[in-house]
Chain A
């Protein structure tokens, strides 16, 4: 068996991610990798986005979970096509997973691809997937320290979504601190607050994504 070092694995992943990105660009597809912890609201936000955009775009959502297709079933109800990857013991999707799907799909059929990564704030920082943008979603229920405790994903992301602001009054979370932390880690990151439950700022997020 060939044993690769972590560096080699990441280099291979990066090369494949570049190939995926080029393939998506060649087919005029906009693509987004959605990362965040379990329960942050990744699926709920994708449901809202699909609900608003399914008439306008042909959407493919690739869902990563260690097991089940619960998230894919939820999103499918909003007229987006879904493909589930069950990663088993792996805590993040990698470019190889995505490549296996992309190379078997007629990409001309799609306008937008979303990849909902496996729920956690650590492992997905190891692997880029070849999308246009990475969006990291946290919720105020995770505590106001969640961003400063997980800098890598914020460093690698283009948009930070702070979700569940409908609970702000009850929880008293320091939103200013969360926004400042994200900006301190990555000055170029766009920060937006949302509520997937009430739909607050979802339109604004869609705009920020350029859709």
Chain B
């Protein structure tokens, strides 16, 4: 747990300076963090999504209908996942709102972001900001 916390803080520090991200270093840290995730799905708001372990949910996570989470997914506190969305191998920081019908794989979503990118399929990138369109969202490949 302590090591997980330390790593997530390091990842946050790196992505707080998007101009200086060394993607190779970030990828190593990202993979190391995901490999440490233990299943923690005891408390969430929503009706029986599909979980492929390990999935780690912080407090007060809201999950919509027919959502598929996992494997290797971390969701930060107070984040919301919309109906029919699918997330694997990804880190979602706190206070994020992810809309309906989005597929994310190997992604990091920075805190306070809102992604209403219906029918999009995104992989291997950092996503930040708030938008209804894939073209407007800040996207850094890694």
Contacts and interface: CB of A to CB of B under 8 A. Distances in A.
Contacts of B84: 1
Interface stretch (B3-11, B45-53, B122-130): B45-53
Given A1-B101, A83-B71, A104-B72, A89 B39 contact: no
Contact of A88 (B48, B72, B119): B48
A83 B71 CA distance: 10
Chain B interface residue bracket vs A: 10 to 19
Q: Chain A interface secondary structure, helix, strand, loop or mixed?
A: loop
B96 to A, nearest CB: 21
A100 B70 contact: yes
B48 A100 contact: no
B39 A69 contact: yes
Given A83-B53, A88-B50, A100 B71 contact: yes
Contact of A83 (B52, B88, B101, B119): B52
Interface string A57-71: 000000000110100
Interface in A60-90: 66-67, 69, 83-90
A1 B119 CA distance: 7
A132 B18 CA distance: 47
Contacts of A69: 39, 53
A100 B104 CA distance: 13
Interface string A83-109: 111111110000001001100100000
A11 to B, nearest CB: 20
Contacts of A67: 48
A87 B39 contact: no
A88 B49 contact: yes
Interface centre among A83, A88, A90 (most CB of B within 10 A): A88
B65 to A, nearest CB: 9
A202 to B, nearest CB: 28
B116 interface: no
B63 to A, nearest CB: 10
Given A69-B39, A100-B70, A100-B71, A86 B50 contact: yes
Closest 6 CB pairs of A and B: A88-B48, A86-B51, A88-B50, A84-B53, A85-B52, A88-B49
30 contacts: A1-B84, A1-B101, A1-B119, A67-B48, A69-B39, A69-B53, A83-B53, A83-B71, A84-B51, A84-B53, A85-B50, A85-B53, A86-B41, A86-B50, A86-B53, A87-B50, A88-B48, A89-B48, A89-B66, A90-B50, A97-B50, A97-B52, A100-B52, A100-B70, A101-B52, A101-B71, A104-B71, A104-B72, A104-B88, A104-B89
